[in-house]
Structure 1
């Protein structure tokens, strides 16, 4: 690649059209809302942040896990309980993963390819590895090789690398934030020399040239999703959300809808919890399909945070103002947005019901045994939530 000294300007010029692209992508109903448009810029910055990680340290011959989705890279509507990390790999390579499994609820590695961030198209997973299936030491240590064929003489954990795999992504799901021990792990290539050396200028410029495209895919993929739910009539009414062709995990079932609430209204979600499951949760998003800030608001609940009533029903109150009950989802200043729930490896896949009531009458629609929460208790709970969420490892 010829170097004319203007590579930075070329990068900026490549990013410049994304402002207009985003303005056109934001639903027409929202384009004149200055707050939404500021949030759309935040979404572009989150996409640029994601693109920057690969540009700076991504190397298929010497892979390294980098943040994929989290509170700071709030793209593709991340699950509140999940930290996502990924690394680029070279097809046909041999890779060693070593680390400490930790005590979080789930750690699952997915083989991916082609990469959505680079193609702009969704693809189903090529395979997944549950870290619970790995042999671990008493201290949680593990080691696994992922390669086209098992290395000669290697007797440890091994999984076949799918021929089209060009990216690995790990989902780390924790339900008791700040208490469960987060995993630690690294990856090394077994079939190249260990030393990386100095990257060539052409290699760096190739990585920089990908940034506008990756930023575009990250930021422009889903700003219309909530509006599409509204147009389909799924306002305050759930539908199945099939992500099996969009890198969704096998064994996971999603439901979602758009919501619309006035300041004095509340939605009550009710669902019979399955007899067995590995994990479940419910979260909120804004109109651009960014997950509502779950660090600083009670805008998500999982199977440890939420309370199931004595009759086996999980009831959630969704509202703008605190209803004074434990299972509250705070819309956090967004009168419209989306609600999404998921079941993972559950014995059943129930679809919750939703009904709208007046917030002032909320206790009339809930069991007498519903856990009440005072303003003082809520303040303490939110402070603890904020601290616990920050104890998770996202970088």
Structure 2
């Protein structure tokens, strides 16, 4: 049967979700099964859109197919590359805070993260006055079969910035027709999707164990190159465990960069619902205190504050702060300071508590803005 391998992989992946290497609640299980559905969708997409002769930029990670503590502010595109080939990536620069390119010598797996071959942002491209650009590359990068291109468009202001356009073409096969589809090729692709599916689940079980969970709970690391991630980005990682009546205050200075953000993730090492809940904030979405500091409050209960990050029923989870397009280096003192306090003590522990307070209708308006911002990306 053509789909037999994939059917077995779906059953195996469900077993992995139902029996993860950590304790789960009924809510965690429901979210895990939703994560499984997104992983099935993405694995099929990656396997069936995969074409080394005529590559395309695939959008495999989004709010319906989360993975790898996906950035709520990013639109991700992937393309598979091979040795001996020449490529051109072209398009029109949008107005997003960042547009970055990264070539890796493989894909993420439960054995480790691939190495970065090259990583840069659009400032290194010759962008014309009308926003158009080209980037040509090939054998000089030492590409191999299995190399991967990742392009990220990253928003600071979800409702003001606009997407650009992107495309990839393999130059040495341009104009050649694609070969005919055969039952054997289709069966092979179902097999590829099967391996991708179970590999994806196992990879993101392993990844946080290498980095995030090596840190003490309720702490965040000093800014550093993102482990296994975008080489041109600095990040701070950590994980939290909070009682229902506790809050974490994360204080960080405004940095000299185009993009600065914070997010919460679940035990599945994926983003939590950032469309209908405020589980992430960019600098544009955040309130800056009068002393130039960003103070975020991580808690389950609504504290009536602009910079509330809702844990959405997750008393334990992961966190990440990101900085991109830095114009000045970050020192250790530019990193986050973390304090866990009783929710009831927030008015006395936040120096600008009154100024940062918002009403329930203000919070509803912020959520409505998020919903519009995500809808503008037109990913469904």
TM-score normalized with structure 2 length: 0.90
Contact 1:241 1:254 in 2 (8 A): yes
1:261 aligns with 2:252: no
CA separation of 1:230 and 1:244: change in aligned 2, threshold 3 A: closer
1:385 to 370, 373, 378: 370
2:272 alignment partner in structure 1: 292
Q: For residues 1-395 of structure 1, what are the structure 2 equivalents within 5 Å?
A: 6-27=1-22, 29-30=23-24, 33-116=25-108, 121-148=112-139, 160-164=140-144, 166-194=147-175, 195-223=177-205, 234-239=216-221, 246=228, 248-274=229-255, 276-344=256-324, 345=326, 346-349=328-331, 350-368=334-352, 370-394=355-379
227-236 vs 186-195, which deviates more?
227-236
- Distance in 1, Cα, partners of 2:264 & 2:350: 21
In the alignment, the residues of structure 1 paired with residue 215 and residue 88 of structure 2 have an alpha-carbon distance, to the nearest angstrom, of: 48
- The Cα shift of 1:374 comes to 0.8
RMSD of aligned alpha carbons: 2.5
Q: Please tell me whether the aligned partners of residues 16 and 201 of structure 2 are also in contact (alpha carbons under 8 angstroms).
A: no
What is the count of residue pairs matched by the alignment? 373
Quick one: distance in 1 between partners of 2:114 and 2:224? 13
Distance 1:166 1:385 in 2: 35
Distance in 2 (CA, whole Å) between partners of 1:242 and 1:215 is 30
CA-to-aligned-CA distance 1:208-241 (integer Å, 9 cap, x gap): 2111211112222234666888975622122358
Q: Distance in 1 between matches of 2:167 and 2:40?
A: 24
Shift of 1:306: 1.3
Consecutive unaligned residues of structure 1, counting only runs of 5 or more, are 1-5, 149-159
Change (3 A) 1:87 1:96: same
Classify 1:232/1:192 alpha carbon distance in 2 versus 1 (closer, same or farther; 3 Å): closer
Would the alpha carbon gap of residues 354 and 26 (structure 1) be closer, same or farther in structure 2, given more than 3 Å must change? same
**Partners of 2:209 and 2:112 in 1: how far apart?**
20
1:299 to 1:186, Cα distance in 2 relative to 1, 3 A: same
Q: Secondary structure at the match of 1:249?
A: coil
Quote the Cα distance in structure 2 between the aligned partners of 1:48 and 1:392.
22
What SS does the aligned partner of 2:341 have? strand
Take 2:266 and 2:346, find their aligned partners in 1: how far apart are those partners? Answer: 24
SS of 1:262 mapped into structure 2: coil
The runs of 5 or more residues in structure 2 that have no matched partner are none
